[in-house]
Amino acid sequence: MTIIGKQIRMERIMDRNSGRTIIVPMDHGVSVGPIDGIKDIKSAVATVAEAGANAIVEHKGLVGAGHRRGGSDIGLIVHLSASTSLSPFPHSKTLVCSVEEAIKLGADAVSIHVNIGDHQEKEMLNDFGRVAAEARTWGLPLLAMVYPRGEKISDEYDVSVVKHAARVGCEMGADIVKVSYTGSIESFREVVDGSTVPVIIAGGAKMDSDRDILEMVRSSVEAGGAGVSIGRNVFQHASPAKLIQAMATIIFHDATVEEALAVLGKA
């Protein structure tokens, strides 16, 4: 029962035909406050849902505020871990929600954030293990956001540490792993090849141009990536819906960057 349940829920957060996905995280409020783009969470959710995104990521307290009761459906991933930028240890994540609580909120999946290399790595990995076990018991997909961050990490985008992060994610029991893009098709292929589960890329800081975003998306897919989990570069975009549609042409239809730019009217 839990196996078929997980398969059904995976299809709510990933395209069943391609095995790829566009996820828009909107969990930034805990980390950095009510930033532009997600101050009105219901409007933000409506925009990305109608544009065709597969899923959103929210903290538990925003699920009700973001639920629209109409329009296009969208997968719900409830984020279980948190920290704030005001903390002296902003990379040390702690659990703030349980798998069972997420299920009661209507979640199709759950997500956890782990920073390997942080001084509290031990606690975060322990939490990861417990969440993975609970998610498997309930047949709930688990998205793991794993980043190399700490005193021993000189470059968190270096392929050697990013592929280590992805491997940690799959070996700990995640169904999808989210990591940073390493900058080239060749290096990111190493990351994908080292994982046994789909690998998607983070958007990172706000990027300077649409071409930069779409070239990153295209290169990650060419390397074998399974899509994106991009927040600020989507919901703070001048036209979030068009950017999602442009990314979708690449992720689901293998379009070129120029074809995707045409969707934005910038070819």
Q: Which of 147, 175, 181, 210 is catalytic?
A: 147
Measured between alpha carbons, how far is 239 from 170 in angstroms, rounded to an integer? 34
**Residue 181 annotated as catalytic:** no
Whole-angstrom Cα Rg for the chain: 17
Two tokens, residue 122? 């031990």
Enumerate residues 6+ apart whose C-beta is below 8 A from 186: 223
77's CB contacts (< 8 A; 6+ apart) are 13, 23, 55, 56, 57, 58, 107, 108, 109, 110, 111, 143
Which DSSP state fits 61?
G
Q: What angle do CA 241, 112, 153 make, to 5 degrees?
A: 100
- 154-193 residues labelled b (16+ CB within 10 A) or e (exposed): eebbbbebbbbbbbbbbebbbbbbbbbbbeeeebbbbbbe
Between 159-171 and 185-193, two packed helices, what is the crossing angle to 10 degrees? 30
Which residue in 108, 118, 178, 181 is the catalytic one? 178
Q: How many CB atoms neighbour CB 112 within 10 A?
A: 26
CB atoms within 10 A of CB 149: 19
Is position 147 annotated as part of the catalytic site?
Answer: yes
Active site (annotated) includes residue 152: no
β-bridge partners, 200: 178
Residues marked active site are found at 27, 147, 178
